[in-house]
Amino acid sequence: MRKRLAAVLLLMAAAVPPGTAAAADPIYKDPAQPIPARVADLLSRMSLDEKVGQMTQAERGAVTNADITSFRIGSLLSGGGSAPSPNNATSWANMYDSFQNAARATPLGIPMIYGVDAVHGHNNVVGATIFPHNIGLGATRDPALVQRIGRATAEEVSGTGIDWDFAPCLCVARNDRWGRTYESFGETPENATSMTTMITGLQGAKLSDPGSVLATAKHYIGDGGTTDGDDQGNTQLGEADLRAIHLPPFREAVARGVGSVMITYSSWNGTKLHGHRYLITDVLKNELGFSGLVVSDWNAIDQIDGQPGFTAAEVRTSINAGLDMIMVPTEWRQFITLLKAEVQAGRVPMSRIDDANRRILTKKFELGLFERPLTDRSYTPTVGNAAHRALAREAVRKSQVLLKNQNGVLPLPKTASKLFVAGKNADNIGHQSGGWTISWQGGSGPVTPGTTVLQGIRSAVSTSTAVAYHRNGTGIDGSYQAAIAVIGETPYAEGMGDRPGSMGLDSEDLATLNTLRASGVPVVVVLVSGRPLDIAAQLSGWHALVAAWLPGTEGNGVADVLFGDHKPTGTLPFTWMQNAGQQPINAGDGKTPLFPHGFGARFPATQNAYAVIGASYYDEQRGTQVERCTDSGCGQNVGYLTPGDYVAYADVDFGATPPTSVTTRIASGSTAGGTLQYRLDSPTGPVIATVSAASTGGWQTWTSRTAAAGGATGVHRLYLVATGGTGGDLANVNWFQFAR
C-alpha cells in the first residue's frame, strides 16, 4: 500500500508544470540560503517596474499605502520635521509598520527601507535623547564614546521601526562660515576619521542583530571645503588635496563596512558630484571597494544641469555615474517614468539597473527585513530612556572646552550664596540643541523634553544657594559671586546657516554682557554655538569662557563642568579665529589664531599659595556674602564674616618649604575686635596664621595686613575662619597671599 501511494505522489509531482515548485518555495525567501543566492534569485524574478521602484525613495508625506504597493516603491524617508501625529515613538512605529505592510503586499513582497536624519540622536522624534552635535563630539576626542552614542541612537531609531540612518556626516569643515560646520567632527581628516566609530555603533557587529540600523557616510566628497564656505558650493582643489583632506574619513568608513554613502550637493571644480562618475564609480566603488548602496541627497539630481526641474538627462547622468537610489521626495512618479524610458531606450544599461538593485537588496537581506519586517517593539521604550540621557550628559561634559579661566573663577562654588544666570540660551532646549531638532531648522523653547543649562545649574548648587535668572541680565548687582552668561547662536541648518559677513555675537548678547559687566561681578561666558565665533574684542571683559557647542537635551552636563563635578577635558576640533577676516583658518596655514586647533585649558590641579587668591573664589562657605568693593580695581570681596563663619579653598599648594607670612587685604568697620584664622583641612584644623580683624575705619576702607605664618607644606584645603570678638560682623576680605 505504501509503495503504491509513493508511486502516485511521484506521478503527481511529474505533472506539476515547471517552475511551480520554485514559485511556491523561492530561494530568496529562504533565510538559510546565502544572501548572494537570495539576491540573484529575487533579481531574476523582478520586472523593470519593480527594479525602478526599488531605486526610488519618496517622502512619507507624498505617498499613500496604495502608491507603495502599486509603484513598488523601495524606500521612504522623513525629511527634517516630517513626523506622524502625535509625534512620539509609538506613532512612528505604527506608521512604519503600516507602510511596511503596504510594501509587503506587492507580488514579490519586497520590504521597503525607511531612512531618517538621526544626526545627533533620533532628533525628529519628540522625547528622544538629543546628543551633542558632531562638533561637540569632535571636541571629546573619544571614539569609544561616539561608538556608544551610535549604539544608543540605533536602539532608539529601531524602536520606532526605522532601519536606515543618514549619519554620520564625515565632512571635513575647512571654513567656519559654512552653515553645516557643526555637523563636522573637526577641520582635519584625522578628526573625522577617528569618529567613524559611530558607524560601528549604528550597525552593530552585523546588520541583522537586533537594534542595528544601516549607517550612511555623508556627504561624499568635499562638502566641507567649498570656496567661502558656501553651502552646496564649489570645492576648488586639486585631486591630491581632495584625496589628502576629504577622502580619508570615507576610506575608513568603507573599511568599517558602512552600508550606504550619500553624495554631496556640492561640486568639485565646477562639476556637480551627483553626476561625477569618476569619483562615485571609479574611486568610491572600484578603488575603495565600496559594496553598499549609494544614495542621492534630497532632490539633488535636479542640480546637475543648474536648472529647476529634473530632466531625463539628469536621471540618466546620475544613474550612470553610479547612484543606486535616488531621493526624489515628491516627484517620484516623474522619476520612475523617466528612468524606465531611459532604460528602454538603452541610454541606461540594464546592467547598471541590476547592479543598483543588487546593492539595495543585499542591504535589505542583511538587515533581516525579509524575516523581521516590522518594528521591534522591545526597543520602543529605549526612546529617551534614562540610560541614554545619562550617556548624553557624559558626552556633554566631555565636549566642554575651557578657553579662559582668569583668577581661577572656575569651578564655581556650589555653596555660593548668590549666582546670576543670563542669556537667551540659558533656559532654552531648542537653542541649546540647534538645528535638526524636531524640525529641520530647529526651534526655540521647549521643543522636546530635556534639561536646560539653567536647570542644570540650579540642580548642581546647594539648597542654600540662590540662583537668579533674567534673560537680559536685568536685576544683577555686585552682591552675586558670579554671573553666568549663556549666549551664542540660535538654531539653523543647511541653507540658512552660512555666515558670509559678520561672525560675531548679536546685539542682544552684547547688551546682556554689558549689563553683567557693569555690575562688577565676575562674568563666566558659556558659548552655545555651531562653530567658533568672532569674540576676541569682548574676551578681555570675561573672567571665563567655555565653548559648550550645541549640547542637546542634557544641559546638566554643562553644569557638571562649571561646578567642578567633572574637570574640563575637551579640546578644540577647529582653529578659533582672531577675527572673521581670517576665514578660512586651519591648523598649519600660518595664520595666528585666538586659540589653536587642539587647545583646551584645564582646571589647575592645585592653587598656588604664593600667588594672589581672590577671597570670593571659594568653593565652600558658611555665613558669608559676596559683594562688590567700592574702591577702584578691588572687584569683589567676601563680607559679613562673623565669629564661626568661614570660607574654604581647595587644593592650596604650599610646596616643600612652609610660608613665613601671609598678607590679607581686609576692611572692617567693627568695634568688636576678633581675628581671622587660616586653618588646614577643616574649620577646626591646625592654625597656620592669625590676622587681626580690628577696624580699618570702614567696611570698604581697605588695608593690607601681614601676619606671621608657618607649619604648612604640601597641598591642603585652606579655611579662613572668623573667630573671637564680642559678636556681630568682624571684617570683609578681598584677597590673601602667602610668602616665604
The string of pLDDT tens digits covering residues 599-640 is 999 998 899 999 999 999 898 999 998 988 888 778 899 999
| Omega within 30 of 0 (cis) for the link into 26 | no
Q: How confident is the model at residue 17 (pLDDT cuts 50, 70, 90)?
A: very low
Q: How confident is the model at residue 13 (pLDDT cuts 50, 70, 90)?
A: very low
- pLDDT computed for residue 722 by the predictor: 96
- For residues 49 and 110, give the distance between their C-alpha atoms in angstroms, rounded to a whole number: 13
Lowest-confidence segment of 8-22, 48-62, 123-137, 152-166 by average pLDDT = 8-22
User: Does residue 195 contact residue 142 with C-beta atoms inside 8 Å?
Assistant: no
- pLDDT computed for residue 24 by the predictor: 61
Q: Give the three cell numbers for residue 176.
A: 567656519
Catalytic residue list contains 376? no
Nearest to 536 by CA among 573, 510, 504: 504
Burial of 545 (0-12, 13-18, 19+ CB in 10 A): buried
pLDDT tens-digit readout, 221-280: 999 999 999 999 999 999 999 999 999 999 999 999 999 999 999 999 999 999 999 999
Q: Please, what is the Cα angle at 660 between 659 and 665, to 5 degrees?
A: 90
User: What's the mean pLDDT in 685-689?
Assistant: 98
Q: Residue 12 pLDDT more than 70?
A: no
- For residues 102 and 563, give the distance between their C-alpha atoms in angstroms, rounded to a whole number: 54
User: What's the mean pLDDT in 405-409?
Assistant: 90
Phi and psi dihedrals of 263, rounded to 5?
-85, 145
- For residues 248 and 172, give the distance between their C-alpha atoms in angstroms, rounded to a whole number: 10
User: Does residue 664 contact residue 704 with C-beta atoms inside 8 Å?
Assistant: yes
Mean pLDDT score across all residues of the chain: 95
Catalytic residue list contains 190? no
- For residues 39 and 365, give the distance between their C-alpha atoms in angstroms, rounded to a whole number: 8
Beta bridge partners of 732: 667
- Active-site residue (options: 155, 156, 297, 366): 297
Most confident of 16-20, 406-410, 694-698: 694-698
pLDDT tens-digit readout, 478-494: 999 999 999 999 999 99
Q: Residue 564 pLDDT more than 90?
A: yes
- pLDDT computed for residue 327 by the predictor: 98
- pLDDT computed for residue 1 by the predictor: 38
Nearest to 586 by CA among 273, 137, 177, 269: 177
Q: Give the three cell numbers for residue 610.
A: 604664593
- Active-site residue (options: 494, 498, 560, 645): 494
- pLDDT computed for residue 22 by the predictor: 42
Q: Residue 663 pLDDT more than 70?
A: yes
